[in-house]
């Protein structure tokens, strides 16, 4: 029998598993609370670090469970303070996470899949193909190991989490949803400080809306009309724009939750000013805040970022149409921190793009 990784168990399951274990061993109930405290508040990297457990209890715990995190293969720091970790997983694949300091916050961008099956044309991860789903423990492990690095390097506490690293989190709900519970209830990151970013997986958006916790939602929209969206986001064939907007509307209605549209601006592809009115109409309908993100060029794709003047004009016209807008500058460009680039460079010659990806997720 394989030993379960403690990091893969959301708080109630962890408590149950530990309580059963210590009961079997005739140990007092407080042992469960001691281990929980090491896992969550202590954030220790190993069972050996649980120093208030007697040695024989540490050994017994290790015979029944493990506590494994991804191992940092590289850490790169950008002059703007962005820090990227490339994590090696147990099967030697790699994923990345990025720490982004901004305005007193420290945001951690997590990966949810190794690669991605959705193949968006402008995204380096999409081009690198799909390898597999990350487990709950691998998602939580990225957080713990990054948070520990930040603590030990004087960068403070991780205040916000965004699922905007590699992969489509709502195409991996089986592992991402328990990770959300764990980060929130276990590690104490407020639900409103955790953002799930999706390119439009309708059942996932509806499932997120059903959750009691007010996790935030970002929709990577990139186009306010179906024919243009189809050119950028192959998922349009499966979940057309109209259905996606209906789903985010259901999310927005649940307790007045706020959401964000991410709009990657690609020169002469999706930055025509005629697109402002339909985009503004969608944003007003669901009360979305719009982030404009100049396209970050990737290898083998000819597209260029929109010109600064166009980004400003596009934003100004959106605002004039009653929409809240921000322009995001790509962070960590010097370290290829944006959007799967480092891993994509590493695995580029190992895999070709998975064109059947659309059929391979739930
Ligand atoms: N699959 C999820 C999360 C990962 S992508 C999603 O699509 O939302 C995180 C964000 O980075 C998305 O908004 C995506 O559109 C954006 N992005 C991807 N490649 C980019 C690029 N080359 N330039 C700018 N933004 C990019």
Pocket around ligand 1 at a 6 A CB cut-off: 122-123, 164, 168, 197-199, 220, 262, 264, 293, 295-296, 298, 339
Which of 21, 39, 64 terminates a domain? The answer is 64
The answer to whether 271 and 265 have CB atoms below 8 angstroms apart is yes
For the segment 174-197, the average pLDDT, to the nearest whole number, is 98
Share of the chain above pLDDT 70, in %: 91
Residues 157 and 40 in one domain: no
pTM for the model: 0.93
Which of 64, 80, 107 terminates a domain? The answer is 64
339 has catalytic annotation: yes
- Give the Cα separation of 167 and 134 in Å (integer): 9
For the segment 168-183, the average pLDDT, to the nearest whole number, is 98
- Give the Cα separation of 196 and 216 in Å (integer): 6
pLDDT at 155 over 70: yes
For the segment 299-322, the average pLDDT, to the nearest whole number, is 96
Residue 23 lies in a domain: yes
pLDDT at 105 over 50: yes
The answer to whether 189 and 214 have CB atoms below 8 angstroms apart is no
Distance 338 CA to ligand 1 centre (A): 8
pLDDT at 356 over 50: no
Rg, C-alpha atoms of the chain? 21
* Count of other CB atoms within 10 angstroms of residue 81: 14
Residues 52 and 157 in one domain: no
123 has catalytic annotation: no
pLDDT value of residue 15 = 98
pLDDT value of residue 329 = 78
pLDDT value of residue 358 = 32
Distance 112 CA to ligand 1 centre (A): 13
pLDDT value of residue 352 = 33
pLDDT, tens digit (0-9, with 9 covering 90-100), for 335-355 = 666 544 544 444 433 333 333
pLDDT at 266 over 90: yes
For the segment 285-300, the average pLDDT, to the nearest whole number, is 94
Residue 150 lies in a domain: yes
- Provide the domain limits for residue 134: 71-350
Q: How would residue 300 be classed by pLDDT, with cut points 50, 70 and 90?
A: confident
pLDDT, tens digit (0-9, with 9 covering 90-100), for 204-246 = 999 999 999 999 999 999 999 999 999 999 999 999 999 999 9
pLDDT value of residue 256 = 82
Residues 48 and 82 in one domain: no
pLDDT at 64 over 70: yes
The catalytic position among 96, 138, 236, 262 is 96
* Count of other CB atoms within 10 angstroms of residue 348: 15
The answer to whether 197 and 221 have CB atoms below 8 angstroms apart is no
Give 301 or 342, the one with higher predicted confidence.
301
- Give the Cα separation of 169 and 150 in Å (integer): 24
Q: How would residue 71 be classed by pLDDT, with cut points 50, 70 and 90?
A: very high
Residue 41: which CATH number? 1.10.150.530
Residues 89 and 128 in one domain: yes
Total number of domains in the chain? 2
For the segment 38-48, the average pLDDT, to the nearest whole number, is 97
Residue 335 lies in a domain: yes
Share of the chain above pLDDT 90, in %: 86
- Give the Cα separation of 214 and 208 in Å (integer): 9
Residues 89 and 41 in one domain: no
pLDDT value of residue 151 = 96
Residue 214: which CATH number? 3.20.20.70
Distance 206 CA to ligand 1 centre (A): 21
Residue 360 lies in a domain: no
Residues 57 and 79 in one domain: no
């Amino acid at each position: 029998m394989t030993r379960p990784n403690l990091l893969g168990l959301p708080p109630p399951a962890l408590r149950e598993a530990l309580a059963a274990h210590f009961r079997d061993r005739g140990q007092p109930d407080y042992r469960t609370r001691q281990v929980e405290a090491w896992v969550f508040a202590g954030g220790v990297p190993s069972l050996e670090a649980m120093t208030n457990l007697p040695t024989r209890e540490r050994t017994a715990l290790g015979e029944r469970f493990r506590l494994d995190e991804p191992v940092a293969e590289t850490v790169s720091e950008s002059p703007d303070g962005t820090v990227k970790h490339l994590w090696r997983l147990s099967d030697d694949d790699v994923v990345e996470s990025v720490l982004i300091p901004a305005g007193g916050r420290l945001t951690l961008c997590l990966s949810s899949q190794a690669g991605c099956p959705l193949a968006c044309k402008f995204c380096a991860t999409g081009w690198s193909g799909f390898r597999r789903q990350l487990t709950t423990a691998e998602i939580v492990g990225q957080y713990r190991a990054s948070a520990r690095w930040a603590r030990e390097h004087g960068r403070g506490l991780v205040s916000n989490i965004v699922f905007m690293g590699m992969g489509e989190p709502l195409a991996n709900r089986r592992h991402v949803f328990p990770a959300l519970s764990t980060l929130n209830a276990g590690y104490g990151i407020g639900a409103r400080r955790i953002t799930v970013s999706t390119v439009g997986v309708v059942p996932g958006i509806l499932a997120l809306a059903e959750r009691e916790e007010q996790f935030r939602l970002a929709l990577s929209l990139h186009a306010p009309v179906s024919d243009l969206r189809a050119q950028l986001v192959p998922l349009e064939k499966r979940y057309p724009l109209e259905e996606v907007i209906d789903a985010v509307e259901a999310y927005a209605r649940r307790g007045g939750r706020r959401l964000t549209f991410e709009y990657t601006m690609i020169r002469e592809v999706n930055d025509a000013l005629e697109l402002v009115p339909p985009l503004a109409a969608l944003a007003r309908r669901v009360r979305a805040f719009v982030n404009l993100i100049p396209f970050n060029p990737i290898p083998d794709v000819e597209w260029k970022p929109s010109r600064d003047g166009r980004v400003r004009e596009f934003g100004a016209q959106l605002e004039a149409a009653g929409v809240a807008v921000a322009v995001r500058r790509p962070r960590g460009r010097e370290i290829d921190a944006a959007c799967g680039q480092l891993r994509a460079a590493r695995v580029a010659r190992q895999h070709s793009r998975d064109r059947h990806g659309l059929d391979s997720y739930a």
